[in-house]
């Protein structure tokens, strides 16, 4: 890792200087300077020689210093409505964590008599719970929460069965948590950063607007089959284990401390979350029933856009009281600020870079280069497939947000240059950025379960290799054929 960082420190500035002083686009100096910045940022993101969010924060600085765009335009994407959408959803997720609403749900499901004690049912319930939570909470937070619960389950099995017989179950249970978290992240626009990057760039650069509800319908065409492929693949892998599926008393960590009913704070969080989800989904349902030109749908879009709905939900957490006499509300400001600011910074920097790639003409130049180099015969199906494959395997090496930021503007430019609909390749790319399963560095969920010491690198690569292939095929079929057949794209 140290060698990788050292390489990034040297290679990034070297490529920057080379591209800056020997421009590939001498007729467009702004685009040439941006290409130099782009190469520096890509190398620093891939090698992580400095923290990825810090690199993202430096992007608007570079854009200003090298006179690519005025400072106001460079920093404007940090206040993009999509940033506010993520901010609101992060605060809601933080409230769930503070008041253990997410753990309560997980405990409630895994403690059911029909599930506890049976390995295959535990596998299915754990994966499904992780998947559902990851649709609304960050993949990292979901995995971090489910990880100790999984260890508690494994501890129970190992205390009542032979430890060697439970070793493969340990690997499979931990991997299904990590992989389900990544798969669940594609289920809603707020589930994973690449989703909103795709939505934001499509709206800004192509005028395509994907609603919250529309994204969910499209993503479920991929999410559901992918989860069942994951589950049956993992279940098949258990067949080599000795038949010892039952335990008498499944103990979950903290189970005895969890109250049976909901606390006042949990009810408030549930209410704020429900209001937000309703405002996110209801306009899409109206457009499905009445059409996208219906006056009521347009009124809802103007008055309650997704970003405003997220802030409304987050704001309710500071208004709904837990104890009015003592002045205690559902969430305090100190608790609220403990969210993932790094992702917001990465998001803002990525949008700034992506928008400028179009403003300066760099993305257009890359698109023309691709078409002139033999891509003129590329069909929508081929470009969509290549977008998915590139996104999946690039994300094995760097952050999925960084991957989406690098790839999506180029895909949009190539699509426009080839005169094809950019929606399928962009959506395929965004979802592909969440389907990297092979390496610990690919996603935080992979890293968390790998850090347990129970999973060898070769095991993760073996499972991940086949799931990568399955994911690419499922995304491609869902985005390219099924979604258009249903009139969703």
Task: Confirm if 250 and 106 have CB atoms less than 8 A apart.
Answer: no
401 three-class SS: helix
Vertex 347: Cα angle to 341 and 353 (nearest 5): 140
Q: What pLDDT tens digit does each residue of the chain (489 aa) get?
A: 578 788 888 999 999 999 999 888 888 889 999 999 999 998 898 888 888 889 989 999 999 999 999 999 999 989 888 888 888 888 988 898 888 887 787 777 777 777 766 788 888 989 999 999 899 888 888 888 888 788 777 776 655 555 554 568 888 999 999 999 999 999 999 888 899 889 988 988 888 888 888 899 999 999 999 999 999 999 888 765 555 445 445 555 555 455 567 889 999 999 998 999 898 888 888 887 887 788 888 898 888 888 899 899 999 999 999 888 888 999 999 999 988 888 788 888 888 988 888 888 888 888 888 777 665 567 889 999 999 999 999 888 777 888 888 889 889 988 888 888 899 999 999 999 999 998 887 888 888 888 878 888 888 899 999 999 999 999 999 999 998 887 777
Task: Confirm if 138 and 93 have CB atoms less than 8 A apart.
Answer: yes
Task: Confirm if 418 and 375 have CB atoms less than 8 A apart.
Answer: yes
440 three-class SS: coil
Helix and strand numbers, DSSP H then E, in the chain: 23, 2
Rounded to two decimals, the pTM is 0.81
Residues 6+ apart with CB under 8 A from 201: 351, 354, 355, 408, 409, 412, 426
For residue 76 the two structure tokens come to 């404007």
């Amino acid at each position: 890792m140290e060698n990788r960082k050292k390489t990034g420190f040297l290679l990034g500035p070297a490529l920057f200087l080379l591209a800056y002083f020997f421009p590939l686009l001498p007729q467009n100096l702004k685009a040439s300077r941006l290409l130099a910045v782009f190469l520096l940022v890509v190398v620093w993101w891939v090698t992580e020689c400095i923290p990825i969010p810090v690199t993202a924060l430096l992007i608007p600085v570079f854009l200003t210093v090298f006179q690519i765009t005025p400072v106001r335009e460079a920093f404007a994407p940090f206040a993009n409505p999509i940033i506010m959408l993520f901010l609101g959803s992060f605060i809601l997720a933080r409230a769930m964590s503070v008041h253990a609403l997410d753990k309560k749900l997980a405990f409630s499901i895994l403690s059911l008599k029909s599930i506890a004690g049976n390995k295959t049912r535990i596998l299915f319930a754990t994966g499904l719970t992780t998947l559902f939570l990851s649709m609304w909470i960050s993949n990292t937070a979901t995995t971090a929460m489910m990880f100790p619960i999984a260890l508690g389950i494994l501890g129970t099995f190992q205390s009542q069965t032979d430890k060697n017989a439970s070793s493969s179950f340990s690997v499979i249970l931990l991997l299904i948590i990590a992989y389900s978290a990544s798969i669940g992240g594609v289920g809603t626009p707020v589930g994973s950063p690449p989703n909103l990057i795709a939505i934001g760039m499509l709206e800004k650069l192509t005028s395509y607007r994907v609603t919250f509800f529309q994204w969910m319908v499209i993503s479920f065409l991929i999410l559901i089959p992918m989860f069942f492929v994951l589950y049956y693949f993992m279940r098949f892998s258990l067949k080599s284990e000795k038949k010892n599926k039952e335990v008498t008393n499944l103990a979950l960590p903290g189970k005895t401390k969890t109250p049976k009913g909901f606390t006042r704070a949990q009810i408030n969080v549930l209410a704020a979350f429900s209001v937000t989800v309703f405002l996110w989904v209801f306009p899409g349902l109206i457009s499905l029933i009445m059409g996208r030109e219906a006056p009521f749908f347009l009124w809802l879009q103007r008055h309650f856009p997704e970003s405003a709905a997220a802030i409304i939900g987050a704001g309710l957490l500071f208004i709904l009281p837990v104890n009015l006499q003592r002045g205690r509300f559902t969430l305090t400001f100190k608790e609220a600020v403990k969210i993932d600011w790094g992702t917001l910074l990465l998001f803002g920097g990525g949008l700034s870079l992506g928008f400028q790639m179009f403003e300066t003409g760099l993305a257009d130049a890359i698109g023309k280069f691709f078409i002139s180099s033999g891509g003129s015969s590329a069909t929508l199906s081929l470009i969509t497939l290549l977008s998915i494959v590139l996104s999946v395997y690039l994300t094995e090496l760097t952050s999925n947000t960084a991957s989406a930021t690098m790839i999506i503007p180029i895909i949009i430019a190539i699509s426009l240059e080839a005169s094809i609909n950019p929606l399928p390749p962009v959506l395929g790319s965004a979802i592909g950025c969440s389907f990297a399963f092979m390496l610990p560095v690919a996603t935080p969920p992979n890293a968390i379960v790998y850090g347990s010491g129970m999973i060898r690198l070769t095991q993760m690569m073996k499972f991940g290799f086949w799931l990568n292939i399955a994911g690419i095929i499922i995304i491609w079929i869902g985005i390219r054929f099924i979604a258009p057949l249903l009139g969703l794209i």
